[in-house]
Amino acid sequence: MGQQVLSISQINAYIRSKMEADPMLGSVAVRGEISNYKVYPSGHHYFTLKDENAALKCVMFRGNAQHLRFKPDNGTKVIAMGSVSVYPRDGAYQLYCTAMVMDGVGDLHAAFEQLKEKLSAQGLFDPAHKKMIPKYPGTIGIITSEAGAAVHDMLRILRKRYPLTRVRLLPVRVQGAEAPGEIVAAIRYANYYKLADLLIVGRGGGSIEDLWAFNDEGVAHAIYASEIPVISAVGHEPDVTISDYVADLRAATPSNAAELAVPDCESLMQTLDSVQSALTSNMLRRIKNARVHLQTLSGSPALQSPVRYIAQKRNTLQLLSSKLINAEQKNVGTKKQRFIALTAKLDAMSPLKVLTRGYAIAQSVDNDSPLRSVEQVNIGDMVRVLLNDGQLDATVLDRRKIR
């Protein structure tokens, strides 16, 4: 027997080279149901794809597995892409899977990626185009189903956070063939009649098919064209739709959209509290500074002796004025003129420039000495207040010691 005898390694290597030379096996897409799915600590995924009559071992290495857009599970129908080759150690062939999509939604994923790329190229996701969300929206338009839990979730949060706003609900269908058209119409209608300062467009969670209206090209353009800022609120946290990319702000969920749309009442109250205490402490500091300044001024000799000077002059003046009143035979008018002239002279001579600047000196009526403490007078006492242009005799109505 001149036949060549091969080692196991040799025959497996031969078969492997044959398979790897085959163009079809080098790039296949296989439809089947996952079973026996295992993720090894190495990060590689091992599973079997089967149909009614047959099974195929598969491996997906960590580098490829981390790009999976879903969590594969036993029973999931999938389309697996990759190459078929031999694993020499076991002498078994298997699918070296490089990518895998859920069967049936694979088309949707492809369509999503295509549309995303197209709209991105058209500039619909441009951050420069995104509008500011108003800080205190007066009216929020909610475009969603009036039947779902999402609208109630949003209203509950808006009511709790910022009941100053008003809500206008524009009910639309959010899934099915009519949904995209209704959503587009509602966005345009709200803009045409200026129904809101802010729009929330979205729905609660669902399957990728349920959320599909928000991956619609028409909806994307309507959001882009909206003059009213739009918050997109579709599904749960991991769901990302085309609407999310186009909207001025993306919310993870409808509830989250309500949180992003308005300020929080409680933190506003805290802000008001801190504004009030800032105003108060600022005011107290200013008053304290002014008082220190006043003390410095009133303690200076320039103010101290002129007070005595003006008191003396005032006595003379009082004497003169009483003489005036008593002098029946004299010409009252002349005396009065003299009185006025004297007063003017006195004022002109007064170095009390500060009085012209709005300060006042309070004196005891009894001895004309300046008051320096509230304790020098009692409620009901008369005090004399010297102002720039004259004096006031005043009764003390109230007395508060501040310091």
Partner 1 sequence: MNQVNKTFEENMQRLEQIVRAMEHGDVPLEESLKLFREGTELVQSCGKLLDEAELHVKKIATDADGRPVEEDFNDEPVG
CB-CB neighbours of 152 under 10 Å:
12
Who contacts 13 (Cβ-Cβ below 8 Å, separation ≥6)? 88
Closest CA to 108 of 251, 241, 236: 241
Q: What is the amino acid identity at position 46?
A: Y
Question: Judged by CB, which is closer to partner 1: 49, or 183?
Answer: 183
Q: Is 292 in the site for partner 1 (CB under 8 A)?
A: no
Q: Is 164 in the site for partner 1 (CB under 8 A)?
A: yes
Determine whether 372 is exposed, middle or buried from the number of CB atoms within 10 Å of its CB (0-12, 13-18, 19+). exposed
Per-residue binding letters, 197-226, with partner 1 (x by CB under 8 A) = x-----------------------------
In the complex, minimum distance from the CB of residue 297 to partner 1, in angstroms, rounded to a whole number: 14
Question: Judged by CB, which is closer to partner 1: 31, or 166?
Answer: 166
Closest CA to 241 of 267, 265, 213: 213
Q: What is the amino acid identity at position 188?
A: R
Task: Tell me which residues in 143-162 interact with partner 1 (CB under 8 A).
Answer: 146, 149, 152-153, 155-156, 158-159, 162
Q: Distance between CA atoms of 18 and 82, rounded to whole angstroms?
A: 17
Task: Tell me which residues in 110-149 interact with partner 1 (CB under 8 A).
Answer: 135-139, 141, 146, 149
In the complex, minimum distance from the CB of residue 290 to partner 1, in angstroms, rounded to a whole number: 5
Residues 166-177 as b/e (b if ≥16 CB within 10 A, e otherwise) read ebebbebbbbee
Structural tokens at position 127: 């951050």
Closest CA to 216 of 108, 130, 296, 93: 108
In the complex, minimum distance from the CB of residue 277 to partner 1, in angstroms, rounded to a whole number: 10
Per-residue binding letters, 165-194, with partner 1 (x by CB under 8 A) = xxxxxxx-----------------x---x-
Task: Tell me which residues in 268-287 interact with partner 1 (CB under 8 A).
Answer: 268-269, 272, 275-276, 278-280, 282-283, 286-287
Determine whether 103 is exposed, middle or buried from the number of CB atoms within 10 Å of its CB (0-12, 13-18, 19+). middle
In the complex, minimum distance from the CB of residue 141 to partner 1, in angstroms, rounded to a whole number: 8
Q: Which of 26, 43, 91, 163 touches partner 1 by CB under 8 A?
A: 163
Question: Judged by CB, which is closer to partner 1: 271, or 391?
Answer: 271
Which residues of this protein are in contact with partner 1, per CB under 8 A?
135-139, 141, 146, 149, 152-153, 155-156, 158-159, 162-171, 189, 193, 195, 197, 265, 268-269, 272, 275-276, 278-280, 282-283, 286-287, 290
